[in-house]
Amino acid sequence: MKLATGLWVWGSLLVAAGTVQPSASQSVCAGTENKLSSLSDLEQQYRALRKYYENCEVVMGNLEITSIEHNRDLSFLRSIREVTGYVLVALNQFRYLPLENLRIIRGTKLYEDRYALAIFLNYRKDGNFGLQELGLKNLTEILNGGVYVDQNKFLCYTDTIHWQDIVRNPWPSNLTLVSTNGSSGCGRCHKSCTGRCWGPTENHCQTLTRTVCAEQCDGRCYGPYVSDCCHRECAGGCSGPKDTDCFACMNFNDSGACVTQCPQTFVYNPTTFQLEHNFNAKYTYGAFCVKKCPHNFVVDSSSCVRACPSSKMEVEENGIKMCKPCTDICPKACDGIGTGSLMSAQTVDSSNIDKFVNCTKINGNLIFLVTGIHGDPYNAIEAIDPEKLNVFRTVREITGFLNIQSWPPNMTDFSVFSNLVTIGGRVLYRYVYVFKAAGLPDFRSSTMLIRDNRKAENCTAEGMVCNHLCSKDGCWGPGPDQCLSCRRFSRGRTCIESCNLYDGEFREFENGSICVECDPQCEKMEDGMLTCHGPGPDNCTKCSHFKDGPNCVEKCPDGLQGANSFIFKYADKDRECHPCHPNCTQGCIGSSIEDCIGLMDRYLVCLLPMFFLRGSTCEHWCMCVHATVNGE
């Protein structure tokens, strides 16, 4: 374990926290990622801690308690019930850690890539202050990561704790180290605690919820019998067998019930054979299902996130901010030469070309001078690597002008601008294939000048002509992918002679002059038959796997979420899907109730614990109580 000796100056290192009010009735806060660094002013360090966590119940991030003096009031930490990242308690001098209601540490981030709980060096080197007792009475679950407790000179009872009951990971020695290290004056656990406790009194006994369970329990239990197993979605233990009896949720908390997934955005509609929008859908927000993402969060698929991933952009639909995949490349506006961060620049050069990566719109001008292209020794600017000019391939719009006075001699075309559609507010319509060895004139939007170029007939004489698949509109360079528009058909950006209607690896249909690929679920047809008549799985001539209503599908619905239940279907001999009997809960091989496969989603609680059966119907020698998962 690496240890910091001094106190580092915090300042901008400090990751912003503060409470976020979510739409769930939980009070959620963001946590920090400062590791051992702290503010040099310890008064401020304490106040920051208090500000972040006062009234916070769920820390969506790491809980870091470092460099707190011995006389501070930490009772505000009692509100915390869950931490999604890690808990770090280090370099403190207080006596007691009052995280009494902390039930679960999820360990989605780990300290030093290993520890979900790290408690070390909590004493004053030159004095008698230090951590004596952990108040973690309710801590019964660490979902991921290990525990590190070391060099706490005065800490007692930690070595009596049965950590394997708490930590879910198997117990590799490199994930865990717990030593009390030092203190000889520790008392013993109260006699009612059977040797395991967090502190001296009978209120401090460790509650075991895992190592004491019957073998049949998947996870945790509230008693030693088979009938005392917690629901499999519970974390940390439970007070009864239902998904609403959990102390914490393994996956998601949907209004008090622990569930594997939140109600999905789309549910299967058996009448239309399609996934349809679910008006009861919820989004995942940390370990909660919420009807609406909190302020400042956006919806990405079905989760609330702070910002969209780089391949998506934020759009607002029906008042909801969502991340949508960008077609091609995400819009990104950048400063041009003479604007904003490039205010004082004269030309694109090797020092600033990296600023144009992924730009689709240039606010201002693009200027290429000889000092940029070939370098400027007086200002210690190197020549541009011609390869780098390819960054401009993403540019669609330049709000100012494009001025090319110099260009690398061995780059024989301007194809890096082949996506440029608009300059100075004007749509480019017709460009000819320009190529000149020496300097080039300005070409501005208001007075488009294309002159002093090589004569068209000279280019033609040398075979520098547009590809025969290009229309008369011209091209940026050789090749069928550099045309402005196509003479016959196009596939993506490339001009082609014809679509793959009857042959080829993948089959297409024609929409005007555009070749569009058939749905992957369509069976590839031979003998002059079209594979599909349109996009989508309902336009196939024949299905390659199964058919559900009008749609070709990979497999028949097999536990798809419907509006009120899960939908199961079976395939008949013609590979068409038909619904199972509504009482089937696990699929079927035919339409009658006799064809159902199992009743897996029902609890079978045998009255005699010895005859507990799971995933099968009850046999005659034991009486069973049926209860469905949904509590029907």
Q: Give whichever of 55 and 458 is closer to ligand NAG, judged by the CB atom.
A: 458
Q: How far is the first Cα of the chain from the last one, in angstroms, to the nearest whole number?
A: 52
Residue 526 CB, nearest approach to ligand NAG (Å): 20
Residues 6+ apart with CB under 8 A from 126: none
Specify whether the CB–CB gap between 228 and 520 falls below 8 A. no
Residue 61 CB, nearest approach to ligand NAG (Å): 18
Sheet containing 442-443, strands listed edge to edge, beginning at the edge strand earlier in sequence: 366-368, 402-404, 442-443
Q: Give whichever of 538 and 595 is closer to ligand NAG, judged by the CB atom.
A: 538
Q: Write the DSSP assignment of 209-250 as a string of letters.
A: SSTTS-TT-SS-BSSSSGGGBPPTTEEEEESSSSTTSEEEES
Residue 336 CB, nearest approach to ligand NAG (Å): 17
Q: Which residue has the tokens 């460099």?
A: 67
Q: Give whichever of 311 and 498 is closer to ligand NAG, judged by the CB atom.
A: 311
Q: Give whichever of 124 and 444 is closer to ligand NAG, judged by the CB atom.
A: 124
382: DSSP letter: P
Residues 6+ apart with CB under 8 A from 99: 77, 78, 80, 87, 134, 135, 136, 139
Rounded CA-CA distance 156/147 in Å is: 16
Binding site residues, ligand NAG, CB under 6 A: 24-26, 100-101, 113-114, 137-138, 150-151, 172, 174, 179, 181, 246, 248-249, 253, 256, 258, 310-311, 357-358, 386, 410, 454-455, 458, 511, 516, 533-535, 538-539, 550, 583, 593
Residue 248 CB, nearest approach to ligand NAG (Å): 5
Q: Give whichever of 246 and 420 is closer to ligand NAG, judged by the CB atom.
A: 246
Q: Give whichever of 172 and 528 is closer to ligand NAG, judged by the CB atom.
A: 172
Give the start-end residues of each E strand in 574-618: 577-579, 602-606
Q: What residues are paired with 566 via a beta bridge? A: 561
573: DSSP letter: T
Residue 26 CB, nearest approach to ligand NAG (Å): 5
Specify whether the CB–CB gap between 445 and 428 falls below 8 A. no
Q: How many CB atoms are closer than 10 A to CB 566? A: 19
Q: What residues are paired with 229 via a beta bridge? A: 221
Which residue's Cβ has the minimum distance to ligand NAG?
534
Q: At CA 185, angle to CA 181 and CA 190, rounded to 5?
A: 105
Residue 113 CB, nearest approach to ligand NAG (Å): 6
Q: Give whichever of 187 and 534 is closer to ligand NAG, judged by the CB atom.
A: 534
Residue 247 CB, nearest approach to ligand NAG (Å): 6
Q: Give whichever of 533 and 578 is closer to ligand NAG, judged by the CB atom.
A: 533
Residue 12 CB, nearest approach to ligand NAG (Å): 22
Q: Write the DSSP assignment of 395-438 as a string of letters.
A: --EESS-EEES---TT----GGGTT--EETTEE---------SS
Q: Give whichever of 91 and 423 is closer to ligand NAG, judged by the CB atom.
A: 91
